[in-house]
């Protein structure tokens, strides 16, 4: 993101989520103005889930930082009972407008504040680019809170982009990760069970898909 856009949105290290509401409040249903809004499920996620059919009916799923809602709708189509949240209330309202017939439970919530009042665990948790959308100093907190959503024997799918070098506030957003994030999730009781990387990346040097599972 260029400096002009950062200043317009008011991106501040100590107010890390405020700019999301401004961004989404200026958007419309076609996603214009949202840099990452492809108006379709993330292609890496879509490709992975299409190659990993399973019996999802009745299982619960959570989408973290759901944005415009397409990934949540994809999970619903796979048979999951889906909850999806975003810090921006405007994003949630856009989801409800775009998908009026969906059974997805769209909720406004702030990941930095930990598990909200609805305090639930999920069979499957999806996180795409949310960690790298917030300043580096919050990384460990975000990883801990995301891990807390995963039920016993539940799975977490993380899709992120990485680059070498120091993660500094001045360099983002986005603040691309390094591969140390895998160790951070494992320190929260999750075990890596699958990893796929590709040099095809929009913002960094590589795109990573990592599947974790919580051991009972």
Tens digits of per-residue pLDDT, 99-130?
A: 999 999 999 999 998 777 777 899 999 999 99
Instruction: Count how many domains the chain has.
Output: 1
- Judged against a pLDDT cut of 80, whether residue 35 lies above it is answered with no
Task: For residue range 60-91, list pLDDT tens digits in order.
Answer: 999 999 999 999 999 999 999 999 999 999 99
Tell me, what's the pLDDT at 212? 97
pLDDT higher than threshold 80 for residue 148: yes
CB-CB contact of 69 with 95 (8 Å): yes
Q: What CATH number should be reported for the domain holding residue 187?
A: 3.40.50.150
**CA-to-CA distance for 120 and 76, rounded, in angstroms?**
18
pTM, whole model, 2 decimals? 0.93
Contact (Cβ atoms closer than 8 angstroms) between residue 94 and residue 39: no
| Backbone φ, ψ for residue 142 (5° rounding) | -60, -45
Q: Are strands 206-214 and 81-86 parallel, antiparallel or unpaired?
A: unpaired
CB 104 within 8 Å of CB 73: yes
Which residues constitute the domain of residue 109? 3-214
Q: What is the DSSP string of 179-214?
A: TTHHHHHHTTTEEEEEEEEES--SSSSEEEEEEEEE
Across 88-102, 106-120, 168-182, 189-203, the highest mean pLDDT is recorded for: 88-102
Task: Say which range, 46-50, 107-111, 142-146, 170-174, has the weakest mean pLDDT.
Answer: 170-174
Query: Among the ranges 153-157, 168-172, 204-208, which has the highest mean pLDDT value?
Result: 153-157
Q: Output the DSSP codes for 50-117.
A: HHS----TT-EEEEES-TTSHHHHHHHHTT-EEEEEES-HHHHHHHHHH-TT---EEEE--GGG-S-T
């Amino acid at each position: 993101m260029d400096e002009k856009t950062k200043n317009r949105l008011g991106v501040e290290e100590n107010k890390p989520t405020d700019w999301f509401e401004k961004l989404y409040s200026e958007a419309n249903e076609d996603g214009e103005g949202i840099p990452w809004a492809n108006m379709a499920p993330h292609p890496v996620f879509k490709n992975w889930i299409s190659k990993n059919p399973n019996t999802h009916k009745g299982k619960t799923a959570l989408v973290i930082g759901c944005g415009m809602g397409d990934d949540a709708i994809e999970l619903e189509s796979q048979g999951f009972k889906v909850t999806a949240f975003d810090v921006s209330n405007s994003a949630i309202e856009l989801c409800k407008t775009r998908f009026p017939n969906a059974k997805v439970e769209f909720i406004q919530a702030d990941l930095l504040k930990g598990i909200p009042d609805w305090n639930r665990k999920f069979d499957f948790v999806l996180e795409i680019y949310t960690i790298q959308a917030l300043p580096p100093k919050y990384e460990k907190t975000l990883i801990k809170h995301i891990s807390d959503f995963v039920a016993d024997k539940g799975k977490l799918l993380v899709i992120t982009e990485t680059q070498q070098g120091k993660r500094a506030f001045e360099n983002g957003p986005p603040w691309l990760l390094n591969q140390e994030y895998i160790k951070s999730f494992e320190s929260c009781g999750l075990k890596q069970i699958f990893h796929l990387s590709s040099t095809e990346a929009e913002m960094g040097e590589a795109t990573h898909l990592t599947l974790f599972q919580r051991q009972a």
